[in-house]
Each structure stands twice: as C-alpha cells, then as structure tokens.
A and B are shown apart, each in its own frame.
Chain A
Amino acid sequence: MSNFNKNYPKTKMIVPPSNTLIPERDADKLPVLDVRNLGIDFGGLKAVDNFTLTIGKTEIAGLIGPNGAGKTTVFNLLTNVYKPTRGAILLDGEPTAGKEPYEINKMGIARTFQNIRLFNEMTVIDNVKVGLGGSVKENLFDALFHTPRYRKNEKMLNEKAYELLGIFGMEDIAKLKAGNLPYGAQRRLEILRALATKPKILLLDEPAAGMNPSETAELMENIRRIRDTFNIAIMLIEHDMNLVMGICEGIAVLNFGQIIAKGTPDDIKNNETVIEAYLGRKENKKNA
C-alpha cells in the first residue's frame, strides 16, 4: 500500500485528531477511526480522493452526499473490500493496511450492506450466531465430537444471540429463514449480525432504506440505544435527512469522491456548497 502506512509504527499511539468532528465527551480519547487522505482510482477515475476524517469513540457520524458520490466506496475502503490506492486508515491507532476483510472485522469494524446481504438459507438466530462465532474458542475436534467445550460454547452463543435479538424484539422469529423475512426485519437482522462481532465501530449503509416514517423513527431510537448500550461509534450512510440530522453528531458530505463539508448538523444545513451539491447552482435553477 502507500508508503505512509508502511512507515507508520505498529504500536498504539495517540494521534492528534486531524480533522475533528469528535463530540466533546470523546475529545480526550483516541479516535476510534482516523482516516487520512484515503483514495482509490478505478481505471484512472478518482472514485474517492483525499478522504480525511476522524470519528470519536462513541460518536454517531453521518456520511451523506448525492447518488454516485462514492459513499459506499468509502465503506468498502474502510473494510478493505477494495484496497485503497492512497492514504491510511487507523483503527484505534492501528493501521489496517494489507489486512483481509475478515481481519478488519476482527480488528473492530463491522458493517451492513446497501443491498442486504444476509445468509438467506440460514435461520435468523444462526445469522447472529455466525457473527458471534469469533467470540468463542472452538477447534475442529470440538465441533466434530461435540465435546463439553462445544456444549458450553453453544449454550452461551444461544443466550447471547437471543439477547441480541431482543434489541429489536426479534426473539419470536429466531427460527425463521432469514431470506423469508420482510425487508425491514432483514435490515434489522443485518445490524444485529454486525453487532454480534463486537465491533468498535459499526458502519451502516442506508439502514433506513425502504422503511416507512414510523419504522425510521424507531430505527433512530434503536441506533441511539445501541450506541449507549454497547458504547461504540456508529457511522452511517443515509439519504433520509430527518434521520441524519436527528441522530448524527458529526456529518461529512461527499461529492464526486471528495469531502466538500464537515461539521455538526446545523453547520451542514446552512452550508452553501452542500446545498449546491444537492440542488445545483442557484443561477442554473433560475435559467431553467
């Protein structure tokens, strides 16, 4: 990857917040995510460029922008699904360069997907248990012969999984096939599966897509509740401005792969460049 990353010491160190969006309560702690000058090219096109952002330990951050601005690409870069062309990502002070996506997850980044990606043929509870799998030690021998350790693990996994399902009140549909759930329930299950991997930061890609206003309101409440119970940071991509402005403490606006504005919801609401990016120039509007 970039030289920057290679030279970066592998030990934990406090990094001064480069571009602060961090709420005051997290200001004295190491930011959970410190992204610097991140960029990727697709065949000469700079899909994302110069992406710099820090996210505090318990912050709820928003990433917004018009369609095709590169928001999901940023998520793919953060989870190493795409390998960045430039820049560095520090998770809790540790560089993530060169890691496989599954290692990134183990380091503490969990995500959901814009086009829901559940394990459709598996039951709801098994989807959550897959996420929980990393938290138990179990070798192939335990699995093949169902040793006492396996039984202990399985019991614990079941309890934890039901506990997680309880967040969204999904215990009673635990035995249904995930692929057969209604859309909203699938989105909620995806969040639970991500939470099950015990992340430090949770990336939500359009969590409210396809939800009606009352479901969205409930989701907002739940996102806040998840942050408060698990004490983690949450970063979300969303088009629903009510949701974004309602729960995000810091917002970054992306347009053509570049951050055009950063700040609190109030800053963003009144930012000229942002309004322009979403609605077009005022002059053009008059002409049209």
Chain B
Amino acid sequence: MATQINKPLEKTPISKKLLNKDTITVFIVVAFYAVYSTLIYTNTAGRQMLNMAITISCYILMAVSLNLVVGFLGELSLGHAAFMSVGAYSGSMLSVALLQSTAMPLYIRLPLAMIFGGLVATIFGIIIGIPVLRLNGDYLAIVTLAFGEIVKNVIINLDFTGGAIGYDTKAIYSTPKALLPYAAAAVIISVLLIINLAKSKHGRAITAVRDNKIAASATGINITYYKLMVFAFSAFIAGVAGVLWGHSLSIIKAAKFDFNMSIEILVIVVLGGMGSIRGSVIAAILLKVLPEALRAVDDYRMLIYSLLLILMMLFNSAPQFAKLREKLNIKNTLVYFKNRKEKKGGNVE
C-alpha cells in the first residue's frame, strides 16, 4: 500500500484512456455480432448456429439486465424470467394486433413492440420493487421467486394469453436472419446504456447503496428511488428480450419462463462476475454455446454442465484456490511477461 501512496500524482481521468474496460466491452459485443452475422449472411453458419442467434441475444440481454440488480444494486433476484415473460406476451400481442390491423412491416412493428413490451415489464418491475423496499437478502430473493411463480401461474390460467397451450405467434414469426439486426441493436444499445448509467451520478449512487446502505442514506442517497429505478430499468431490458424471443418462435408458453430459467440467468451473471457487464456477455455466450458443443455426448450433457458449474464455482470462490487463481489470472500473466520483457531489455542495455 505504502508504495502506491507514494506514487506521483496522476490526474488523468479513466475515460481519457483509449483502451479502458468499457471500450473493450463494447468492442467485444460489436465484434461478436459482426462475426456472427457475417457467418450467417454468407450462409457459412450451420443450422444450429442460425437457430442459436436469437436465443444467445436474449440471454445476453437477460444477463446484463439481471446484473444491474444483482451486481450493481446487490439484491438477489430469483424471478427475472417473469419480466421476460410479461414482455414476450404483451409485445407479441401488440405486434399481432398491429400486423392484423395495419399490416405494418417488421422494421416499425418490432421496435414498437419492443418498447411496449419493455414498458409493460417496467410496470411489473415497479410492482415487484415495492416489497423490495422493505426486504433484504434472502427474504427479497424468496419474494422475487414467488413473484415469478405468480406471473407464470396467472398467465397459464388466463384465456387471452392462450392458457397452458401457449400464445400463438405464428403470424409474427420471423426467421433468425430477419431478427438478427434487431437483436444486435437491442444488445448493443442496452450494453451502452448500462455502461453509461454505471459511470454517472446515478450509477455511483446505486453501487453506493450496494456497498453500504446506511452510509449511502447518510450521504444523501434516496435508497427507495434508486432501488425502484434499477428494478424498473432491469425489467425494461428483460421485457425487450421477451419481445425478441416472442418473435423468434411460433408459440410462447409461460411455463418456459420459470424458476429454472431465472436460475440459469443468475448462473450466467455470477459466473461472468458480479457487476461486470463484459463478464455477463461472455458468460451468456459461453453458457449457451457450451451445451450445444456437448451435444455429441447428449446423455451426459447436463451432467457435465452441472459438474462444470460446481467446479467453476469452487475454483472461483473457494479461499483454498486463491493461490491457484492468482497463478492463472490473465492480468497477472500479462504483468509477468511484461516484467520478464523489461528484465530482458535491462540486460541488453
């Protein structure tokens, strides 16, 4: 510590550096979509990869939005899939209605539906945000879980949602090729907005609430407002993901958006690193591709997945592996090589 304190004064703000972590994140997302769409539009990609395009995009959206709640605000949510469900149903319904009444083309209809689905999900986000204001930790987790189950249960038993059979979206079904540009746009915009938010006064207030609630309120932060805001914003993005999802299928079923899906997204967020948008993006891609890659050993696929999950968690979090982690850390490896280079350089001189 002492050495760091004695370092010379450095006043350059982080944002002035060319290759800061946010630029890298955006670069990764853009590069991913550039490569993916090149492969798809040149017909080099296999059918499997084509079909995965929208799923992966939805999971990226879900993961970054859940990361807002879990990573930035520090509240555990086990019902994130419910917002996606609400968005999928409301957005698809609007899309169907628009198509039938005005035969609106996809490029107007889908963005409109996305905004609508997002807004409806936002309303639900605010509704669930209200108990959140009084609850913390595991109690909040169970309320979000309960909320997810309620949404699922109600949608399954309503008539206008198509009930347990599901809502027929054949009319608005679009191919992955048609949807990919919208998916890419939604992901890139969401990632940019979240990065922007994190770097603002609001973002700092949210992280302050996560780090220490009592200190945050003593520093003039309205915890209620920020908690509600995060839940609402996160629900909006999840709702948009739902609309995208709804357009990529010929039928949507509420049962799909269950506890297991919420958990799957939570796993992505935790493995990617709490509060790391880049981590969430990469983990979402890897965790959706990994089971596909394991298709060769189909029977053992989920078994291997679960084992890997346990091992990764142990490796990531167990204090016993701290030394091993340090050895394998990419940053440290880079520093090691840099040091060696410098040493060599010194020898030459």
Which of B13, B193, B275 has the most CB atoms of chain A within a 10 A radius of its CB? B13
Q: In the complex the two chains form, is A146's CB within 8 Å of B196's CB?
A: yes
- A148 and B191 alpha carbons, distance in the complex (Å): 20
Instruction: Please determine whether B200 and A102 come into contact, CB atoms closer than 8 angstroms.
Output: no
- The residue in B208, B210, B218, B221 that gathers the most chain A C-beta atoms within 10 A of its C-beta is B218
Let me know if A43 is at the binding interface, CB within 8 A: no
Chain A, Cβ-Cβ closest to B207: A122
Asked whether any CB of chain A lies closer than 8 Å to the CB of B255, the reply is no
A171 to B208, CA, bound (A): 21
Of the candidate stretches B3-11, B52-60, B339-347, the one touching chain A is B3-11
Q: Is the CB of A122 within 8 A of B211?
A: yes
Closest to A137 in B: B201
Within 8 Å of chain A (Cβ to Cβ): is B105? no
A106 within 8 A of B: yes
With contacts A102-B221, A173-B4, A193-B219 known, is A126 near B204, CB below 8 A? yes
A105 touches B220 (CB 8 A): yes
Q: Could you tell me the distance between the alpha carbons of A173 and B202 in the complex, rounded to whole angstroms?
A: 23
Residue ID in chain B nearest A144 by CB atoms: B193
Q: Which A residues lie within 8 Å of B214 (CB)?
A: 81, 101, 113, 117
A-B contact count (CB 8 A): 121
Q: Are A119 and B223 in contact (CB under 8 A)?
A: no
A213 to chain B, nearest CB (A): 20
- Nearest CB in chain A to that of B12: its residue: A175
Q: How far apart sit A33 and B13, CA to CA, in the bound complex (Å)?
A: 39
CB of A102 within 8 A of CB of B220, answer yes
Query: A185 — which chain B residues lie within 8 A by C-beta?
Result: 5
In the assembled complex, the Cα of A138 lies from the Cα of B204 at a distance in Å of: 13
User: Closest B-chain residue to A193, C-beta based?
Assistant: B219
- Name the prevailing secondary structure of the B interface residues: helix
Nearest Cβ distance between residue A186 and chain B, in whole angstroms?
A: 11
Partner of A144, one of B13, B196, B217, B221: B196
CB pair A119–B11 under 8 Å, yes or no, is no
- Would you call A130 and B14 a contact (CB within 8 A)? no
Q: Are A130 and B205 in contact (CB under 8 A)?
A: yes
Which chain A residue has the least Cβ–Cβ distance from B1?
A: A182
> B207 — which chain A residues lie within 8 A by C-beta?
119, 121-122, 126
- Is residue B101 contacting chain A, with contact meaning CB distance below 8 A? no
Q: Which residues of B contact A117 (CB under 8 A)?
A: 212, 214-215, 218
Chain B residues whose C-beta falls within 8 Å of the C-beta of A142 in the assembled complex: 200
Residues of A within 8 A of B193 (CB): 144-145
| Binding-face segment, A89-97, A150-158, A217-225 | A150-158
Known pairs A105-B219, A110-B219, A122-B207. 6 more at Cβ < 8 A? A117-B218, A119-B208, A138-B201, A157-B201, A181-B1, A194-B218
* Interface residue ranges, B against A (CB under 8 Å): 1, 4-11, 13-14, 193, 196-197, 199-205, 207-208, 210-212, 214-223, 229, 275
